[in-house]
């Protein structure tokens, strides 16, 4: 499903993964649990795995990285994560990211925002082209509202809340979460409503 121009959402059970097209090149944000939706999309659309230039992992949790094991042999793309998350990814799935990201870095017009709390090296990504903010597991959408991830799922819930507040410092229009539906056009307003409840 195309949610914004050149941005596609694929669902892998209960988690969203996103494909961003930059000309002929594709950037994948998270792999989901199985990688199957990505494989099916590439085959159905007549695309080549060679077009997949970069895989960015928002954090190490299995529903975001598990699919990597099923596509790693098919792709030559670089695997990127925040430098603080890379050791956890290696520990959990046995794959070492080849590109280590840091806060403020811009890659393919995506600005890396270090948002620790849920995990130490969790990142959000701001697409400068569309003003879409990919928030990973910081928050999720339910019935059109944004909700912070439950405390029990975060390594440091207070830090996660600070990271959510940090996002309001950036210019964005849309929020694309890993769980729930994208919020198109009202992203910043919905996030500000959530922060007011803290």
Burial class (CB in 10 A: 0-12, 13-18, 19+), 106: exposed
The 10s digit of each residue's pLDDT in 54-63 is 999 999 999 9
Contact between 77 and 53 under an 8 Å Cβ cutoff? The reply is yes
The number of distinct structural domains making up the chain is 1
* Residue 188, both tokens: 């910043």
pLDDT score of 64 more than 90: yes
The pLDDT assigned to 24 comes to: 87
The pLDDT assigned to 91 comes to: 96
Q: Which residue has the tokens 């939706």?
A: 37
Name the phi and psi angles at 82, rounded to 5.
Answer: -65, 145
What percent of the chain has pLDDT above 90?
Answer: 97
Q: What average pLDDT score do residues 165-179 get?
A: 98
Return the C-alpha torsion angle 27, 39, 175, 150, nearest 10: -120
CATH of the domain at 167: 3.60.15.10
The pLDDT assigned to 186 comes to: 96
**Across all residues in the chain, what is the average pLDDT?**
96
The 10s digit of each residue's pLDDT in 76-114 is 999 999 999 999 999 999 999 999 999 999 999 999 999
What is the extent of the structural domain holding 191? 2-196
C-alpha span between 184 and 113 (Å, rounded): 20
pLDDT score of 168 more than 90: yes
C-alpha span between 184 and 16 (Å, rounded): 15
- What count of other Cβ atoms lies within 10 Å of the Cβ of residue 138? 31
The 10s digit of each residue's pLDDT in 103-153 is 999 999 999 999 999 999 999 999 999 999 999 999 999 999 999 999 999
Contact between 134 and 58 under an 8 Å Cβ cutoff? The reply is yes
pLDDT score of 161 more than 90: yes
pLDDT score of 50 more than 90: yes
Buried b (16+ CB within 10 A) or exposed e, 41-60: ebeeeeeebebbbbbbbbbb
The pLDDT assigned to 62 comes to: 95
The 10s digit of each residue's pLDDT in 17-38 is 999 999 889 999 999 999 999 9
> What is the reported pTM?
0.97
């Amino acid at each position: 499903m195309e949610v914004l121009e050149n941005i596609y959402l694929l669902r892998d059970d209960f988690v969203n993964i996103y494909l961003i097209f930059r000309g002929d090149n594709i950037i994948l944000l998270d792999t989901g649990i199985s990688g199957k939706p990505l494989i099916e999309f590439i085959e159905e659309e007549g695309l080549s795995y060679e077009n997949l230039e970069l895989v960015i992992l928002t954090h190490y949790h299995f529903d975001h990285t598990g699919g990597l094991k099923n596509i790693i042999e098919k792709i030559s793309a670089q695997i990127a994560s925040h430098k603080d998350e890379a050791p956890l990814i290696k520990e959990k799935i046995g794959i070492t990211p080849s590109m280590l990201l840091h806060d403020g870095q811009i890659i393919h017009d995506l600005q890396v925002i270090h948002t620790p709390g849920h995990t130490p090296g969790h990142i959000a990504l701001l697409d400068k082209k569309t003003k879409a903010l990919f928030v990973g597991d910081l928050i999720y959408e339910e019935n059109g509202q944004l909700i912070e991830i439950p405390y029990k799922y975060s390594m440091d819930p207070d830090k996660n809340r600070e990271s959510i507040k940090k996002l309001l410092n950036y210019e964005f229009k849309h929020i694309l979460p890993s769980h729930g539906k994208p919020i198109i056009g009202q992203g910043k307003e919905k996030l500000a409503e959530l922060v007011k409840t803290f």
